[in-house]
Structure 1
């Protein structure tokens, strides 16, 4: 293991927090993959650009730099930015209240304690301890709060120019900026010790300098620029080092986010800080084209929607000022619009929690998702924006275009009820996406396997209805790499998926090979009456199984679902169809199970003979209760589960008939064809 690998592992151990501060968990660095040696050119692949294609051009570095240098200060704000006393009545109606909210935030923090190096006595020796983990969390929280105060006070000064209150905001911005600039770049907030602190300090000082350019004396400007240069050199040397490691290891999620910080720092300082051109040329075009590496062009986020939400938050904070400086809107990138649709499908309005991957148990921060949606001018964005609760942080909202792009759209139309994102291997099936009381059935069989923040949950499902969780992913995210995380939280047995021989599931250990232990959606169709998805998770078991195929039919017209698993193995195994709930699972006399969560319920019923329902146990949840159960089958080299998910426990008529070449399953008014067992 080389030094880079050792550092990555140390960072992974250092990520000791939950998704209450989701960015902290991104501290878990990704261990680089071994890259194959190219021996020949690939086969020629053709493509077509037709009339439906969206034009998205990113000019060369020289042109982009010129765009930045000819943009008057402030580079991060529009040239049409106006102080509040010149706002139109429409602007006051749209966001006048947000000025009041920002004033209240700044005023509430005027007396907060200054940040000092002596506040944090521990330095990272390469071994994580509870004390160091707690200190890192405190550094992150206090630096982020101070950075927010610097930027908010600077923006208020720009908004209140000519007002009697303006000098006080300028004084607060300078005071807090001086605090950040005085912190040692080799101390507890250094890149080596807490890289989130270093990037926050460098970016916040850059933003404040940009907004207050004409109001900062030469001595203070030089001091701040020196702090920016020292800290950003560490960021640049890391990301550009090892022969361009971000090109070699694009799945370094933490590095990918930091690349965005570097791009914006470069744009705000180019022409004034000598090293900034190198930062700019290295980071800007690469960042724009790599946003984000966790899916193909249709949009998506293989690391899970909790981390997708964090990516949306980073996007608003970075894309708005960077797009303004460059003259190129990253929101116009086709992937960006696809990412918004992905969020609408998997974190729809009214959903109780996130889905798939680390942080799946957390409730969404809807104001972050709403903020991201507001930057798009599409009917789907307008529907998502209108349906989400909460109000964006006034610091970012007051920097957004006016009027907000989403408000310029005439109609609000949700995306289709059924959706498939092939590059991440996710499918969503909703009774009606427009209905806040919808049923939502999610399926995952991903080529990303259990890599990084993904779990061993290929061919798994999640079921919600009416804003209530019915079939859940069990466990909670204490910290990346913890014993609970490794043994239960991300293991197959804590998901609604198949295991064998007492809970043996998909291989999840050893991050460097987990992209090979994957799944794949092999079939998908959607119609007004029914959705269908099929996945193959055989590679995730790394040779232990010959076949692990799951087929799911969502009978939308009846709000029922059928799940069929086909399993084969070289050796005989006892098979288990695991499912989990946040309420007690009732075992019925007929071998079925009932889950009732508030006013919503599902009856889970096996449709083929030879299965036995047993209750399982698991680690205690963070709050409330969790209950676990499994349908089991005796040891054999082949296994099949055919299960009805009767949402609402309506008890439809069910009939299974076998012919010479296939079987017919009728559920209520709908019939589906099944292969022979």
Structure 2
């Protein structure tokens, strides 16, 4: 009998039969949802991404995604270390004419800079004069993206020797004259005129006058003062240089030179070097002045600037070389400092011998690692707020490379082509962002920065989706791009002649999109239509927790009409502030799971991954696996978790289903958390929580496989105090006194297994909620919400299962592999435990299924460890 035709008793009966059937089957089949986690543990993988590279890449005969791949290996610490590399299709490297390699390279990376033939490749590395490493291997097939860049030698040869060449070239200055009426140009000159009247910054201004309550606060105050000092000098010099290049007015040159020459007198080991941002901005300010005002400087002044710039650039190079290329992330390097270093090396190239090494390293490092937090599929794992700090680096360095050498990294790298999808789904126009990463609590919309970035993507890739995104942002916000300096100089002087593609009235957007490389998934009922959209986003990342990432594997955030409905809580304050470490970065601030009151370690070893995604017929589903997220050798934590599988289903137009499977190797106390920035109320009798926005109610009902205690609070475990006196983007002193609400459901007894089911409905005020009265019977939750029928197995003695059907829309879904009876036909699929979906669209019946899919780097880590006998 068709389940769609008879969705009552037949539905429940079939579900129970299926559950009993699954429970009697072997759960260790190759496509079982639990196999991936077990397999990871069996081969001893502590982390997908260690803080420093621990084994060579690519290796394990993995199929590479770029041709050629960049070879990298664990560094051997030391300032004078050099390496040798050899690469060939011959395992024995016997034919020296076919061996590609390098000798005496000071960096733990090697780019062949040539397209490799298809097939198997083998390589080795060694410390110069030492023994060769074990043989490494990889496979090149025709799926690899071509990434044939010029060698660093060829790139350096392409750099013009005439000045200026950093902010623009002399030849391109002629084109700037026709832009004088452009709003960006007007804004640049107006700001420069204001800065003409600012006093010359002095070194003693970098001495902090604030007193902290402990050593950490004192350190942060010193760092902040240093940061402000370097930034003030940089802003003035950059503004003067840009205005001079646009006008030829020497008044700007005179002011810029005065500031740069003043900075040259500062001790790089003094207060101006305490903050790496301030240190780098002092460096690049002087380099820009040297390059832009070169013809006005005397020989002595040039030498003064060159010596001062070189001292700071040498510091960064010696700190980075044989280090950063093997390090998972050095956030400040990639946010701004690599960009400044690239500009500095470009300015001094040809005048300072060491600048060849600086520029070569910056060039090779960018090609080897960018986008360091983005993978291949367009995501960005450090979050919407901090992505803004990476925009200049990700746009301008490729433009330098293309300008000088002709190689278009933008068009060659797949990340740029897919990046707009991340913006659309995780930082939607007119909406707050997904809620992951530091400082997103301060964002209510994408803002001018995202519109500006999307415009550059649109122009450089002729991407109409990016143009649409920028247009949508402008529709919801009163955006004047000229008032923000992010990408303004690039837009006005480097890409002004590239047309923006026509903006389509609408674009085809499915309900959901995943970014498995970085571990993000987002689902929307009306993607791109803020006023009608219900959004849920989940993070479960192979990167774990590090930098500006938080301890938030398998956590979610829910937004309605662009507003934060159920959203993680707290404030960053500073990276080491007690509120950040004890609440904000901790899992207890997230919509996640606690174990014995503890969350996930703050470590790359505490990782997760997006295991499944499927959509169609008004339903979108994703599964996250955070089974490895509750332990870390690095931090010494292990809470015994062996399974944390979270299943999330979004059902149009207004229902969200969250189904958690939890297991441990000992009896533990399981807690389910959800938070809101709005006033939350609790009905303990019915296990119901709710939040009201101006125009809607979000109501959730929770079921547990064991009885639970419910708790609601409006205070943080660790208070937030703005002792740093930080200000928001409008210059207003930040306050941390607004109410935030925290709901926790905790199992009354400790157990090795627990399941939670939560159903949330977001509707206009006053809609009936009779579905809340449904109770679990015989371990089965069965309810009807609108046209959707939902059933879930909560009995831990039987295999898990979630079945959802919609008679009206003709949709049927199962999470754990049981066959679907649909319109008189049985859909078994090819994979026993795969999630299955069947739906009718335009009169056509569609069937699809998905089993667990390991992310690329996790899959290759497993392969490497297995090949090496772990």
Return the TM-score normalized by structure 1.
0.84
CA–CA distance in structure 2, aligned partners of residues 526 and 586 of structure 1: 32
1:85 and 1:646, CA in 2 relative to 1: closer, same or farther beyond 3 A?
closer
Instruction: Tell me the CA shift for residue 534 of structure 1.
Output: 0.7
Q: Please state if 1:43 is matched with 2:129.
A: no
Instruction: Tell me the CA shift for residue 442 of structure 1.
Output: 0.6
Q: Residue 754 of structure 2 aligns with which residue?
A: 639
CA–CA distance in structure 2, aligned partners of residues 331 and 415 of structure 1: 24
- Give the structure with the higher percent helix: 1
CA–CA distance in structure 2, aligned partners of residues 607 and 385 of structure 1: 42
Instruction: Tell me the CA shift for residue 256 of structure 1.
Output: 3.8
Q: Secondary structure at the match of 1:447?
A: coil
1:122 and 1:608, CA in 2 relative to 1: closer, same or farther beyond 3 A?
closer
Q: Residue 623 of structure 2 aligns with which residue?
A: 534
CA–CA distance in structure 1, aligned partners of residues 690 and 469 of structure 2: 33
1:487 and 1:220, CA in 2 relative to 1: closer, same or farther beyond 3 A?
same
Q: For each residue in 1:273-295, what CA deviation from the matched residue of structure 2 results, as whole angstroms up to 9, or x when unmatched?
A: 22110111222122133112223
Instruction: Tell me the CA shift for residue 647 of structure 1.
Output: 1.1
Q: Please state if 1:186 is matched with 2:269.
A: yes
Relative to structure 2, which stretch is displaced further, 107-116 or 470-479?
Answer: 107-116
Instruction: Tell me the CA shift for residue 248 of structure 1.
Output: 2.5
Counterparts of residues 45-60 of structure 1 (less than 5 Å): 45=63, 46=139, 48-49=141-142, 55-60=146-151
Q: For each residue in 1:84-104, what CA deviation from the matched residue of structure 2 results, as whole angstroms up to 9, or x when unmatched?
A: 8841xxx56xx6122221222
Q: Residue 447 of structure 1 aligns with which residue?
A: 542
Q: Please state if 1:249 is matched with 2:327.
A: yes
CA–CA distance in structure 1, aligned partners of residues 503 and 308 of structure 2: 43
Q: Residue 132 of structure 2 aligns with which residue?
A: none
Q: Please state if 1:68 is matched with 2:164.
A: no
Q: Residue 415 of structure 2 aligns with which residue?
A: 335
1:72 and 1:651, CA in 2 relative to 1: closer, same or farther beyond 3 A?
farther
Relative to structure 2, which stretch is displaced further, 316-325 or 61-70?
Answer: 316-325
CA–CA distance in structure 2, aligned partners of residues 37 and 352 of structure 1: 39
1:474 and 1:121, CA in 2 relative to 1: closer, same or farther beyond 3 A?
closer
Instruction: Check the 8 A contact 1:313/1:369 in 2, yes or no.
Output: no
CA–CA distance in structure 1, aligned partners of residues 282 and 236 of structure 2: 12
Instruction: Tell me the CA shift for residue 499 of structure 1.
Output: 1.5
Q: For each residue in 1:522-545, what CA deviation from the matched residue of structure 2 results, as whole angstroms up to 9, or x when unmatched?
A: 111123511101112121123522
Q: For each residue in 1:372-401, what CA deviation from the matched residue of structure 2 results, as whole angstroms up to 9, or x when unmatched?
A: 222123012102211224314244433331
Instruction: Check the 8 A contact 2:163/2:294 in 1, yes or no.
Output: no
Instruction: Check the 8 A contact 1:330/1:336 in 2, yes or no.
Output: no
1:340 and 1:188, CA in 2 relative to 1: closer, same or farther beyond 3 A?
farther
Q: Secondary structure at the match of 1:565?
A: strand
Relative to structure 2, which stretch is displaced further, 391-400 or 652-661?
Answer: 652-661
Q: Secondary structure at the match of 1:552?
A: strand
Q: Secondary structure at the match of 2:353?
A: coil
Q: Please state if 1:433 is matched with 2:496.
A: no
Q: Please state if 1:475 is matched with 2:570.
A: yes
CA–CA distance in structure 2, aligned partners of residues 541 and 229 of structure 1: 46
1:442 and 1:519, CA in 2 relative to 1: closer, same or farther beyond 3 A?
same
Instruction: Tell me the CA shift for residue 230 of structure 1.
Output: 1.3
Q: Residue 381 of structure 1 aligns with which residue?
A: 466
Q: Please state if 1:239 is matched with 2:320.
A: yes
Q: 1:587 aligns with which of 682, 705, 710?
A: 682
Q: Please state if 1:518 is matched with 2:602.
A: no
Instruction: Tell me the CA shift for residue 447 of structure 1.
Output: 1.4
Q: Residue 362 of structure 1 aligns with which residue?
A: 442
1:561 and 1:78, CA in 2 relative to 1: closer, same or farther beyond 3 A?
farther
Q: Secondary structure at the match of 1:451?
A: coil
Q: 1:176 aligns with which of 259, 274, 280?
A: 259
Q: 2:192 aligns with which of 97, 106, 110?
A: 106
* Matched residues, number: 621
1:471 and 1:350, CA in 2 relative to 1: closer, same or farther beyond 3 A?
same
Gaps of 5+ in 1: 1-30, 509-513
Instruction: Tell me the CA shift for residue 644 of structure 1.
Output: 0.8
Instruction: Tell me the CA shift for residue 315 of structure 1.
Output: 3.1
Q: Please state if 1:324 is matched with 2:407.
A: no
Q: Residue 286 of structure 1 aligns with which residue?
A: 365
Instruction: Check the 8 A contact 2:510/2:527 in 1, yes or no.
Output: yes
Instruction: Tell me the CA shift for residue 566 of structure 1.
Output: 1.4
Return the TM-score normalized by structure 2.
0.66
1:154 and 1:624, CA in 2 relative to 1: closer, same or farther beyond 3 A?
same
CA–CA distance in structure 2, aligned partners of residues 259 and 286 of structure 1: 9
Instruction: Tell me the CA shift for residue 482 of structure 1.
Output: 2.0
1:326 and 1:479, CA in 2 relative to 1: closer, same or farther beyond 3 A?
farther
1:128 and 1:293, CA in 2 relative to 1: closer, same or farther beyond 3 A?
farther
CA–CA distance in structure 2, aligned partners of residues 590 and 659 of structure 1: 15
Relative to structure 2, which stretch is displaced further, 354-363 or 600-609?
Answer: 600-609
CA–CA distance in structure 2, aligned partners of residues 121 and 485 of structure 1: 26
Q: Residue 26 of structure 1 aligns with which residue?
A: none
Q: Residue 597 of structure 1 aligns with which residue?
A: 693
Q: Secondary structure at the match of 1:81?
A: helix
Q: What RMSD, in angstroms, separates the aligned Cα atoms of the two structures?
A: 3.2
Instruction: Check the 8 A contact 2:231/2:278 in 1, yes or no.
Output: yes
Q: Residue 228 of structure 2 aligns with which residue?
A: 141
Compare CA radii of gyration and give the structure with the larger one. Answer: 2
Q: Residue 377 of structure 2 aligns with which residue?
A: 298
Q: Residue 418 of structure 1 aligns with which residue?
A: 512
Instruction: Check the 8 A contact 2:756/2:794 in 1, yes or no.
Output: no
1:235 and 1:608, CA in 2 relative to 1: closer, same or farther beyond 3 A?
closer
Q: For each residue in 1:120-144, what CA deviation from the matched residue of structure 2 results, as whole angstroms up to 9, or x when unmatched?
A: 3479xxx954344223213323422
CA–CA distance in structure 2, aligned partners of residues 155 and 113 of structure 1: 19
Instruction: Tell me the CA shift for residue 561 of structure 1.
Output: 0.5
CA–CA distance in structure 2, aligned partners of residues 415 and 49 of structure 1: 29
CA–CA distance in structure 1, aligned partners of residues 681 and 563 of structure 2: 17
Q: Please state if 1:614 is matched with 2:711.
A: yes
Instruction: Tell me the CA shift for residue 56 of structure 1.
Output: 4.3
Q: For each residue in 1:493-516, what CA deviation from the matched residue of structure 2 results, as whole angstroms up to 9, or x when unmatched?
A: 111112133x322223xxxxx222
Instruction: Check the 8 A contact 2:50/2:605 in 1, yes or no.
Output: no
CA–CA distance in structure 2, aligned partners of residues 294 and 198 of structure 1: 24
CA–CA distance in structure 1, aligned partners of residues 508 and 286 of structure 2: 40
Q: Residue 401 of structure 1 aligns with which residue?
A: 495
1:657 and 1:585, CA in 2 relative to 1: closer, same or farther beyond 3 A?
closer
CA–CA distance in structure 1, aligned partners of residues 784 and 221 of structure 2: 56
Instruction: Check the 8 A contact 1:466/1:600 in 2, yes or no.
Output: no
Gaps of 5+ in 2: 1-48, 64-138, 632-638, 721-735, 796-870
Instruction: Tell me the CA shift for residue 271 of structure 1.
Output: 1.2
Counterparts of residues 340-355 of structure 1 (less than 5 Å): 340-353=420-433, 355=435
Instruction: Tell me the CA shift for residue 465 of structure 1.
Output: 0.8
Q: Secondary structure at the match of 2:435?
A: coil
1:462 and 1:378, CA in 2 relative to 1: closer, same or farther beyond 3 A?
same
1:379 and 1:39, CA in 2 relative to 1: closer, same or farther beyond 3 A?
closer
Instruction: Tell me the CA shift for residue 111 of structure 1.
Output: 2.5
Instruction: Check the 8 A contact 1:562/1:645 in 2, yes or no.
Output: yes
Instruction: Check the 8 A contact 2:681/2:689 in 1, yes or no.
Output: yes
Q: Residue 635 of structure 2 aligns with which residue?
A: none
Instruction: Check the 8 A contact 1:652/1:668 in 2, yes or no.
Output: no
CA–CA distance in structure 2, aligned partners of residues 405 and 642 of structure 1: 50
Higher relative contact order (CA 8 A, sep 6+): 2
Q: For each residue in 1:228-275, what CA deviation from the matched residue of structure 2 results, as whole angstroms up to 9, or x when unmatched?
A: 1111011111101xxx01232232223444334323322232112221
Instruction: Tell me the CA shift for residue 453 of structure 1.
Output: 2.4
Instruction: Check the 8 A contact 1:604/1:643 in 2, yes or no.
Output: yes
Instruction: Tell me the CA shift for residue 625 of structure 1.
Output: 0.9
Q: For each residue in 1:394-440, what CA deviation from the matched residue of structure 2 results, as whole angstroms up to 9, or x when unmatched?
A: 44433331135535667774754411011111101112222122222
Q: Residue 648 of structure 1 aligns with which residue?
A: 763
Instruction: Check the 8 A contact 1:418/1:430 in 2, yes or no.
Output: yes
CA–CA distance in structure 1, aligned partners of residues 776 and 680 of structure 2: 31
- Give the structure with the higher percent strand: 2
